A and B are shown apart, each in its own frame.
Chain A
Amino acid sequence: MSVTDPNAAPMRETAFSVRTRRWRELSATILSNPTTVIGLVIIVALLAMAVFAPWLASPNTPDPYQMPRDWGAVRMPPGTPGHVLGTTNQGGDVFYGVVWGSRTSLQLSIVVVSVTVCIGIAIGSIAGLVGGWVDEALMRIVDVFLSIPELIFALAVAAILGPSFSNIILSLCIVFWVKYARIMRAQIILVRQADYVKAATVIGDSKFNIFRRDILPNAVTPIAVQATLDMGNIVLVGATLSFIGLSESGIAEWGVLVSEGQAGIASGRWWASTFPGLMIFLWALAFNLVGDGLRDALDPRTEGR
């Protein structure tokens, strides 16, 4: 009754080696896409910038997230000794802003994405698993949220909360979970009826274990992709909110810097907003490239085939 297996694997295989190989294969697929690699390189560079910020641009104020003011060197063009990228109207060093701004952005995107993903998964799972009127009610709330464009909604919330960077984070958290909840619910409903879930029920496994082992791992892939894309998008939205003045002025944040520098553009002082603007662009681009690569690599039609 034995089946000859032409490519029988060596006996040495262990669960660990197989699982790591799966990750290796997955990363190989991801890395085989040049645009994804470009994105990854940019992300790594930006992360390095955030990590080494104190060494790249040492702070001289008690709060390193505040732009240092050097009133003796306002509106210096790029290339000025001590101010490679020039200075702002208030004598802030643009290079300092660019470097420390990466920390602010990282903080913003990590906090917002992790909070919203958790809320989204929780709400989406409850809606998808419980169903009935609970689902109905939650989805109506989601619909209300979705009917207002994200940016305008976040803007309104941030405006109500008052201008501050932490309020921007809070408002983005309030707005961005909706998308994840919706994706999660759709995924749960799809995965819940898979035969392997039925098989686990027949085996006698508990509902919680089935959720943990069967439903969740098979439902989260699109969330991971969306979260990666949002790591970039959220910085963009956050910068927009900062730009229109919903953040405190004077903090090392790309959006704030662009906003504060734009007044000078007309008089030829392009650098104060161009460099932070470029950073926002790079950040959003990099995460979008990686997110797209991830989506292709995780595509169920091609994965593992």
Chain B
Amino acid sequence: MTSIETPTENPTRPAIARVQGLKVHFASKKGPVHAVDGVDFDIADGEMLGLVGETGCGKSVTGRAFLGLIPQPPARIAGGRILFRPRRREDTSEDTPEFRPCPTCKGADIVCATCNGSGYDTLDLLAVKPRTMRAIRGRRIAMIFQDPGKALNPILTIGDQLAEVFLQHASADLLADIGGTGDMGGLAAGAVGRAARQESGRLDGILSRVPPVRGHLRRLRAALEDRIAAALAETQISNPRRVIRSYPHELSGGMRQRVMIAQALACDPDLIIADEPTTALDVTIQAKIMELIKMLQEKRKTSVLYISHDLSLVRRTCDRVVVMYAGRVAEVGGVREVFAAPRHPYTRGLLDAIPRSGETRGVLASIPGTVPELVSPPPGCRFADRCVHVMPECTRVNPTLQPLTPDQSVSCFLAHPPAPGAAHKEPELQET
């Protein structure tokens, strides 16, 4: 593929993922709900990108689209692509044929400009085969959900749940941990390998009783527990070995969220989608969990898409922020720029609505009106019926996301007056 200059590109770092013209529509009684309707943004390699906006503006749908977690039906991907370039890794055993080498350097060059040295060509996450998606989930892109109580299986211990992730995605590492299976016969080595990959053959039940195999399996289990404990310890959970044997309900919300983070980080993914990871938690630990994610992200140089409606947490933890409104991107930019000088009227309204110290009571600036219905929306700016600066053009043509400074892009006619007379066409999003 060719590199496309999008206005949302982070100027300093190459992108690990790029959402282009993403459209997701939901079937409803009243007609198709345009939940996500042409969203573009980039996630730079190693950055923490915030995605903010009101309830129902399409944040979670966008996040879930990365991992093919959108229920179809009722949903329908009505257009767009999510391009993702995996990072270079030692262990490529899980790559599927769809993981193609970089067309320029054929995967050989670690300073190749096209692939940023990753050696991979980009994948369109909306078009990959289910098998490839399974190889991506957890291993390449992991997700942290809002409600840690619902995302963990109540009948498995924490250890069992984490073991599953390791066995699924890191079996080769585990085998390396126990020093390989070289000293064993082929049959026995196969059995240990299968155990590590969580498969089992008919013979394995018998083989696992053969002393050398049993020894290896025991060591495998010990190695597994060490890994799990280390993963939990990394999230600063106290007493990981006890947590391993606990059931989800025995842990507090904060601890469960740490387990979720450990699970997400288990395979050292390239990208983490964190959908409101702290919303279900108490104020006293929200900041702590976010700092933990931030710390681990910086340490491992992972990229994070942090979905939230808590603007102050986003301001603290993210490098850049995408502001969504009614299924579209209103503004994108560095957090400092966007928070200090918001350019989209909606971003401004959102920031002003937060009570601050010293403000007179009863006169909080609030955006009048409510979020528009997303069933067959009319043309024009989605914010037009609530915007104080609305102009005639706003209800006729769609403002597009255009750079204002290298660090900030806005989709509003205040910042980019529409070309006089020129019929503004929707940008061509679907290219081949």
Contact = CB atoms under 8 A, between A and B. Distances in A.
A7 B369 CA distance: 13
A6 B368 contact: no
Contacts, number: 12
Contacts of B372: 6
Q: Chain B: interface secondary structure?
A: loop
B362 to A, nearest CB: 11
A3 interface: yes
B385 interface: yes
B369 A4 contact: yes
B199 interface: no
A3 B366 CA distance: 12
B38 to A, nearest CB: 21
A4 B385 contact: yes
B98 interface: no
Contacts of A5: 370
A206 to B, nearest CB: 36
B373 A3 contact: no
A4 B373 contact: no
Interface in A1-39: 3-7
Which of the four size classes fits the interface of chain B? under 10
Contacts of B385: 4, 6
A4 B372 CA distance: 10
A4 B367 CA distance: 12
Nearest to B28: A305
A251 B370 CA distance: 67
B327 to A, nearest CB: 16
Contacts of B373: 6-7
A3 B385 CA distance: 12
Nearest to A6: B373
Nearest to A1: B368
A58 to B, nearest CB: 49
Interface in A220-234: none
Nearest to B375: A7
A4 B371 CA distance: 10
B75 to A, nearest CB: 15
A7 B373 CA distance: 9
Nearest to A25: B29
A180 to B, nearest CB: 29
Interface string B234-254: 000000000000000000000
B240 to A, nearest CB: 36
A27 to B, nearest CB: 14
Interface in B349-407: 368-370, 372-373, 385
Nearest to A32: B29
A59 to B, nearest CB: 50
Most buried by A among B369, B372, B385: B369
Nearest to A4: B369
Contacts of A3: 368-370
A6 B373 CA distance: 8
Nearest to B366: A1
Interface string B215-235: 000000000000000000000
A296 to B, nearest CB: 14
Nearest to A7: B373
A116 B77 CA distance: 49
A1 B402 CA distance: 34
A5 B370 CA distance: 8
Contacts of B370: 3-5
B345 to A, nearest CB: 16
Contacts of A6: 372-373, 385
A3 B372 CA distance: 12
A84 B251 CA distance: 71
Contacts of A4: 368-370, 385
A4 B385 CA distance: 9
A3 B370 CA distance: 7
Contacts of B369: 3-4
The 5 closest A-B pairs by CB, nearest first: A4-B369, A6-B373, A3-B370, A3-B369, A6-B372
Given A3-B370, A4-B369, 10 more contacts: A3-B368, A3-B369, A4-B368, A4-B370, A4-B385, A5-B370, A6-B372, A6-B373, A6-B385, A7-B373
Interface of A: 3-7
Interface of B: 368-370, 372-373, 385
12 contacts: A3-B368, A3-B369, A3-B370, A4-B368, A4-B369, A4-B370, A4-B385, A5-B370, A6-B372, A6-B373, A6-B385, A7-B373
